[in-house]
Amino acid sequence: MKLYGVFDILGPVMIGPSSSHTAGAARLGKVASKIAGDDFYKVEFYLHGSFAKTYKGHGTDRALVAGVLGMDPDDERLRNSLEIAKEKGIEVIFIPTDLGDQHPNTVKFVFYKKDGKNVEVMGSSIGGGNILITEIEGEKVEFTGEYPTIIAKYNDRKGMLADISKFILEKDINIANMKVTRNLQMITTAIIELDAKVDDEMVEKIRNIKDMLNVIVINPV
């Protein structure tokens, strides 16, 4: 096994008090809101396990809200996020619950969007500020947000992955991990983790591929 980097030992730089309950929660919120898109007016947070029991004392509620407002885990406005959400007219609701067989620090977000759609995202804070997104719109996924990540949804057809990879290769970027799942409606979700940052031009090209339904890009936070 490789050695930890020096900034894994002296880091993260974060808002206290707990890397898993605060820093990880902020990262979860930020990644979830990128998946949802930013035009939401209300967010429900279903809190599971230790998150459900101790969210107030650890400021997990503030951290989650800071994240969905786009703040990083070391943003000093984090502790005032509930007030900031209010000013922005975003309603936030915390619901302690049991999400079943999940990691003890798990949250399910439901974003209510202005266009009438809801987006559901679930993820866990797995220690040291690291996270795992486990479900998007009811479908199982698995990615950490540590790599620049592309989530592409498309009507399944042959050669789709080849088309996507072509534009990634064009930018000379290596694919670190890839996971592809297809639902009963024959809609495929591809989660592609890359070794280098995603640029707009590449995303535009991928978006314009025939049969593409939706492309979400998450650069690391």
Q: Which stretch binds other proteins (CB under 8 A): 2-10, 40-48, 83-91, 111-119?
A: 2-10
Cβ atoms of 105 and 45 closer than 8 Å: no
Pairing of strands 105-113, 40-49: antiparallel
128 binds other proteins (CB under 8 A): yes
Q: Cα–Cα distance between 96 and 180 in angstroms, integer? A: 32
Q: Cα–Cα distance between 101 and 57 in angstroms, integer? A: 24
130 binds other proteins (CB under 8 A): no
Q: Which letter does DSSP use for residue 29 in this model?
A: H
Could you say which residues in the range 19-58 bind other proteins, by CB under 8 A? 19, 22-23, 50, 53-54, 56-58
Q: Which stretch binds other proteins (CB under 8 A): 107-115, 127-135, 146-154, 208-216?
A: 127-135
Q: Which stretch binds other proteins (CB under 8 A): 122-130, 150-158, 198-206, 210-218?
A: 122-130
DSSP string, 103-149: -SEEEEEEEEETTS-EEEEEEEEEETTEEEEEEETTEEEEE-SSS-E
96 binds other proteins (CB under 8 A): no
Looking at the Cβ atoms of 23 and 206, the one nearer to other proteins is 23
In the complex, the residues that contact other proteins under the rule CB under 8 A are 1-19, 22-23, 50, 53-54, 56-59, 62, 74, 76, 78-79, 127-129
